[in-house]
């Protein structure tokens, strides 16, 4: 039985909607952790940081007696390009940095070194 028409539109149906944007499959991200960890260990400011995967992102942070202290989040954009976010005031703030994982770790060790540094160690 055909649906009733009202002004040329079928009544009782939903308008066509664009398909939801799907996140890329990042189930392989944990394979990258040893490489990311080596990059972090090689940097002056990021030495002592750890990399983990959570929710399709690579999270870079430190741990202390109070627990985990996330600092950065790297999110796959396309290909081997990632975006960088800073954990600030209990939320992720996107930063204007994009690039390879190596390039983003370089940014953490230069432009964002203050955020990567172990704050419990006194400056000398």
CB-side exposure of 104: number of CA atoms within 13 Å? 27
The string of pLDDT tens digits covering residues 77-120 is: 999 999 999 999 999 999 999 999 999 999 999 999 999 998 76
Q: Other CB atoms closer than 10 Å to residue 122's CB: what's the count? A: 5
Burial class (CB in 10 A: 0-12, 13-18, 19+), 87: middle
pTM of the model: 0.76
Domain ranges of the chain: 24-116
């Amino acid at each position: 039985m055909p649906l009733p028409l009202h002004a040329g539109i079928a009544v009782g149906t939903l308008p066509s909607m664009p398909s939801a944007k799907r996140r890329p499959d990042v189930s392989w991200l944990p394979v990258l952790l040893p490489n990311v960890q080596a990059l972090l260990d090689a940097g002056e400011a990021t030495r002592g940081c750890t990399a983990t995967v959570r929710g399709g992102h690579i999270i870079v942070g430190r741990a202390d007696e109070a627990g985990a202290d996330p600092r950065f989040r790297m999110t796959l954009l396309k290909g081997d390009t990632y975006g960088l976010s800073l954990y600030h005031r209990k939320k992720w703030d996107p930063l204007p940095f994009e690039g390879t994982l190596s390039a983003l770790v370089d940014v953490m060790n230069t432009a964002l070194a203050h955020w990567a540094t172990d704050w419990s160690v006194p400056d000398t």
